[in-house]
Amino acid sequence: MVTAARYYPQLLSMMGNTLRFLPAFVAMHQLLEEGYVGDIQVCDVRVYGPSLLDQSYGWTCEELMGGGGLHIVGSAIIDLLSYLTGTRAHRVHGLLRTFVQQNNLIRGIRRVTSDDFCFFQMLMGGTGSSGVCCTVTLNFNMPGSFVHEVMIVGSAGRLVARGTELYGQRNGSKCEELLLSDGGGVGPEAKETPRPHLQGLSSMVKALRQSFQAHEERRLWSQGPVASAPTFEDGLYVQTVVEAVKQSSSSGEWVCVEIMSQEPDPNHNLCEALQRNKN
């Protein structure tokens, strides 16, 4: 897919990470470029909510089919942090757990293999003290309201996106200030799509519409409205980080992030599953 996107640059190819289009993160990105927090030092992300599992056994229950907090939510967070900081992870360390392996609807011979708790750290940008330290905690064993908080701390202050609102506080200030309130207008929050993702999706669709409306025949598209959208190269990077986090969880060690330069073995996942069943 990456090769095809490079070969046909006239075609619009982008990943569907809606968080990049959420107004709170658009504003946060602009403030970071303007130096609101100074030099970025630490990123801390917390996402808490109810189970991601469907009402019946399906792909969300299987790690090999893309289920679990790391795949479904963590991939969007990894891409978002790269977008906000302008850097990429070079080393990761993670821990994945499946606390709920069966429930009232998924039982018998069926067993959940996708993670419902994930914690990982990323060292991004330069090495040593010049890099950015990121911590991400994903917990989907908490019924109730959905919690989505992204905090970036720098040498001059901090920015915090709580849900769809953006707050900021500079060093020396006694209290934080509301920089962007919830715009609303996207309907009630749904279990399948929490409000930050729902509002981000709405903004992304509007950007796509503007991109094609720039040309009367609408056979071409304008780069401007979707300039911040993640590319297929970004998608490959995110998937590489996800695989590195999974590898770290198995080994218990830090893992270097190395972007793939050739086609992976199509039977890799099958071989992993067979080896796991054999053990």
Find the angle CA(22)-CA(215)-CA(13) to the nearest 5 degrees: 50
Q: Are 114 and 22 in contact (CB under 8 A)?
A: no
User: Could you give all domains of the chain from N- to C-terminal order, each with its CATH number?
Assistant: 1-6+17-183+231-258 (3.30.360.10)
Whose structure tokens read 């067979």?
274
Question: Each residue's pLDDT tens digit in the chain (279 positions)?
Answer: 888 887 877 788 888 899 999 999 999 999 999 999 999 999 999 999 988 887 778 888 788 888 889 999 999 999 999 999 999 999 999 999 988 877 777 777 778 888 899 999 999 987 666 789 999 999 998 888 889 999 999 999 999 999 999 999 999 888 999 999 876 655 555 556 788 989 998 998 898 888 888 666 666 778 778 888 888 889 999 999 999 999 999 999 999 999 877 666 666 666 665 666 555
For residue 262 the two structure tokens come to: 């050739």
Pairing between β-strand 89-97 and β-strand 255-256 as defined by DSSP bridges: antiparallel
CA distance 252 to 269: 21
CB-based contacts of 216: which residues, under 8 Å, 6+ apart?
none
- pLDDT given at position 3: 83
Q: What is the pLDDT of residues 163-205, one digit of tens each?
A: 999 999 999 888 999 999 876 655 555 556 788 989 998 998 8
Q: Which helix (H) or strand (E) covers residue 153, if one does?
A: strand 147-154
Burial of 59-86, coded b for 16+ CB within 10 Å and e otherwise, reads ebbbbeeebbbbbbbbbbbbbbbbbbbe
Q: What is the pTM of this model?
A: 0.86
CA distance 266 to 18: 28
